[in-house]
Amino acid sequence: MEKTSEKNTAAFTHLSTLSQYIIPFGNYIFPLIIWTNYKDKSEFADHHGKQALNFQLSILLYSLILALIAIPIFVTVFLQNLPLEAVFNDDDFVIRNFNIQANIGILSVGITAVILFGLLKFVEFFLVIYASIKASNGELYKYPITIPFIK
């Protein structure tokens, strides 16, 4: 049976990944600090620290892959349609000469990558909350779709 302090440490390790919404790279810095301080003191905190860091690194990898798909697609489509004509009429702004029909296939791949990224971040938020609840209950938790970078 885990002690209350171990449960709290493990739960806080998961919750510290949410600092990414306030501090850039906080989702790596704070769990790493907590994990390195407690990995030798508690096997339970060690497990949850590894899980939190592996999940954040996996999310980073998936995000980079989606960005490497979406960004070149949008840049290529934009550059192919560069001789754009922008017209300002009274309160309207109209862009002409943009051929979306010729690029609909490749644009749909880029839009799908952007939607998958949004879905990934949405699921990440709730999985972090779920993992912290499991940790505070004294249960071992393993994130889905996680690559074990730290063993």
Domain boundaries defined on the chain: 4-136
Confidence band for 105, pLDDT divided at 50, 70 and 90: confident
Task: Provide the whole-model pTM.
Answer: 0.83
Cα distance between the two ends of the chain: 23
Region label for 25, one of left (φ > 0), alpha (ψ between -120 and 50) or beta (otherwise): left
* pLDDT one-digit tens code per residue, 63-81: 999 999 999 988 888 777 6
CA-to-CA dists, residue 67 to 18, 39, 54, 74, angstroms: 21, 33, 20, 10
115 pLDDT more than 80: yes
Instruction: Judge whether residue 41 has pLDDT over 70.
Output: yes
Q: Determine what percent of the chain is predicted with pLDDT higher than 90.
A: 70
Mean pLDDT of 16-30: 93
pLDDT-derived band of residue 147, with 50, 70 and 90 as boundaries? very high
